[in-house]
Structure 1
């Protein structure tokens, strides 16, 4: 999937169908000049549904579908005939889609399961025919109910990527390179910051035909929680990950400082991020000799007490099997 086809935010106007009018018909046939009321009910208006589809990974198919309107209900007829129901409209969305009210920014609901079906705009009820209003004192009512009006709403669909592991790091830390060697994903890789502008997903094949999903999130910069850089456009994707992999290059000036900045940005965006499992991975370790790596380990033991860390090299294919084992263990160990 190319970056241009990855759409994770769309605004849509939805409108259900209005209910059909009830009929005020009076029964007429040969030899019966003044029959009683026999007006039927109006049909209900069509609903607008959102349905989860595990086969979708993006909201790209809704990029140009800015107006979705369901069908109107049919009017009631004679002989207590009920009008037809309006045509329902179904909007398929990927799992992890959050639905917000555009005006209030309130979260209405989230779609997290395949086949989950939720009404986003309920169709108007059909009006009752005059048959319902007959009584001993009013045997020929000549009125019926109108149908209920449609429900209109402006909604925001916001995709939060569903992945087991999220890659967190500064721009150009080597996240895309790591994703490309762990999975069959083909992210854009180049020697400049913000090469990745959209999240990339890859499936890591593990032993015994098992697998887990890893997401490469565009690089964080200081001030991202306030919207600096790519800001909230990517931070929300980390909310769904159960494990966070902090990637810091071995040639960083201060590994602990970089980690603290990354962690602080996540905390300021959503404090619940700090409850997730964390793994610190020092990349580009092929540049280190054994003596330098030993010295770095002593410092990292002091800096990251209780937080696991590893050394890898995506280019030299060093430590990748151990990394897969560690991630699998973290994902499958109950808290």
Structure 2
């Protein structure tokens, strides 16, 4: 029900206690939690050892400016680069995007981390938070990249997460800092922003992350705590049967729901399966907020990928060096 953030590169005693809580389904890692490849692997192992049940360990390793693990990892280009290449050579662009996905997911898995929240399938239409994280402004082009990227992640043994539903790219505001309101009609959103999500669901993406954006012509509240968006449109109309994540409840645009308990209740009541509590200072209050709720952390177990993938086996794989070379030269 909750995926939490921790403070540093090692677990402290309080964080070990948090992992004992029935509502704790996993941990999300950030740059503050990274020192080296070996340290991330050790931290991931420590998280699993400290918890009485399987934990989903996740990260945002998109590439470009959103890449939490850097030293010792491939320098992943931002998704916008693939959109530019697509204008000259669509086939090459889609092939490289698939390799980007495989490389990203393979390195994350080699670190003992289950999931990178990717791909971003928002349209590149000037949003301050999205920017070069988007493939393109054109829905059909983003849809093609979405299929390719999901294929690449699946080839590496990682589940895919489509974000940020139903589309964060067509408003200006960055929801980390401001409320965001998209006044378009549902028909317009269906014809534009939802197109890549349809493609991703058809490609069997396992998860969706919601946007903290309000679409008042569709529902009065932001999408992340809107039954209209989650139950009626995403689940029923679009047929999505996977895991629904909230975006971080510490972001400014989530404050409209009220305090910490109100935010968590609003998201869970609307149909989110998992709420992200990325800021460690919010975790104690968040765990207390779900004390009287029916708890089910098993919803994320299908996203936890176990197996032999480690750095030694990845470095020995011919595709690894080939993918690095293709990405470094193919976008020039």
Does TM, scored on the shorter chain, surpass 0.5? no
In proportion to residue count, which structure has more strand? Answer: 1
In proportion to residue count, which structure has more helix? Answer: 2
TM-score, scaled to structure 1? 0.31
Greater C-alpha radius of gyration: 1
TM-score, scaled to structure 2? 0.31
